[in-house]
Amino acid sequence: MAAQAPEFTYVCPPDGQVSTGEGPLSGLRLAVKDLFHIAGIPTGAGNPDWLKSHSVPEQTSSAVEALLAAGATLVGKTLTDELAYSLNGINAHYGTPLNVVAPSRIPGGSTSGSAVAVANLSADIGLGTDTGGSIRVPASYNGLYGLRPSHDVIPTDDMVALAPRFDTVGWLCRDLETLVKVANVYARTFSFEERCAGEDTVSLRHVTVCSIVDSTVWDEALQSWAPLLEEQFESVSHCKVDSDELTRASAAFRVLQGREIWRQHGDWILKTQPVFAPDIQERMLWCRGLDENEEAAAQIQADHFLQYWRTHVLPTPNHVALMPTAPGAAPLLDMKPDDLARYRSQLMGLTAPAGLSRAPQLSLPWLQESSAPWGVSLTATRGQDRSLLQLASSLEAKMATLGLS
């Protein structure tokens, strides 16, 4: 296990705490995952060989610029797993950011540094990316709010991609109010609805409660939330999600993502021969070995899963799914690598549905297991980002009224 790392890989110069305007984010500190380009600051993507083989950016990501123009103050760039290809938050080169709310557990990746910077009060907004769960997972593990928006609603220019087909810009905050402020800035800047191909925003009036994990904590939480759900929604349905379907979703996502990763980075890897951590290296070699027949088969499998998901979980745009963000609290730091790999596969069964359907998923810090945070997710259909945030705000207000918060 690598040594504990500070939350920042690169910090701005002492006089370089940048804010380019005043607005709704004035007074809020912004920590940016080390995938986003910021003019004059190196982008390391969590790997020393990437850092050495790429020049210092001359342009800043528009996702970063929008927040700075709204008044946010940039306080630093944050650690990421190598090329963002992990959900653990463990970086063999730079260390593992300390999960301050559960120090014996991993922080979750690949937006590990941004999550920890927000959790330890170094920042108010942690900007990151989510391809296979890299906002949702660290939000769950660190007791934060984290949004993976619909694919394409926020531009991904001037950043290091992992798998463009699935890459999204997301963010983490300690409270829902701040998270919504960021969403409103992006909505005004990038026109959410237009970028969602003109899909209409609807009221999320029906909830599907997903039985996905075998957990007493989850079962007891659902019992306590029953009055809340009955008050909020016109209908509450329960779906025992087929574990085989989730396994197939995870497997299909991994292959489709893997093919994208090799298309994106294969030439650089073959030319540079970078040093990766053993688990990242193993995955990169696996990506290299995938072929178009495996990709085609994975796409068929993904389409089959999406049909299942739309039939049983989200049959209309008015539906929202309530489900655990992860199988449980964050794994312990000393979990054996083989066990961690098996856990990753199970975890991706929970994160793959939103990725495959290009849909928004919001992780909320509503659960605890073994005194450690465990997130609850609301997942909607693609394009319903604003409705999802409005619903979450309504639910939190009613939780307080009902004495459930």
pLDDT > 80? residue 324: yes
Which residues, 6 or more positions from 345, have their beta carbon under 8 angstroms from its beta carbon? 247, 250
Residue listed under structure tokens 């290091």: 160
pLDDT in tens, 285-311: 999 999 999 999 999 999 999 999 999
pLDDT in tens, 18-61: 777 789 999 999 999 999 999 999 999 999 999 999 999 999 99
Nearest alpha carbon to residue 370 among 337, 340, 330, 324? 330
Choose, from 19, 33, 61, 114, the residue flagged as catalytic: 33
Give the alpha-carbon dihedral of 169, 173, 175, 176, to 10 degrees: 0
Distances (CA, A) of 9 to 12, 85, 113, 117, 152: 10, 17, 8, 11, 27
pLDDT in tens, 203-240: 999 999 999 998 999 999 999 999 999 999 999 999 99
pLDDT mean over 326-353: 94
Confirm whether 134 is a catalytic residue: yes
pLDDT in tens, 251-279: 999 999 999 999 999 999 999 999 999 99
Distances (CA, A) of 185 to 146, 181, 325: 16, 6, 25
Choose, from 110, 112, 114, 250, the residue flagged as catalytic: 110
Choose, from 62, 86, 122, 134, the residue flagged as catalytic: 134
β partners of residue 4: 96
Confirm whether 122 is a catalytic residue: no
CATH of domain 4-401: 3.90.1300.10
By the 8 A CB rule, do 101 and 372 touch?
A: yes
Please report the pLDDT score of residue 3 as a whole number.
46
Query: In the structure encoding, which two tokens stand for residue 104, read together?
Result: 């014996």
Confirm whether 33 is a catalytic residue: yes
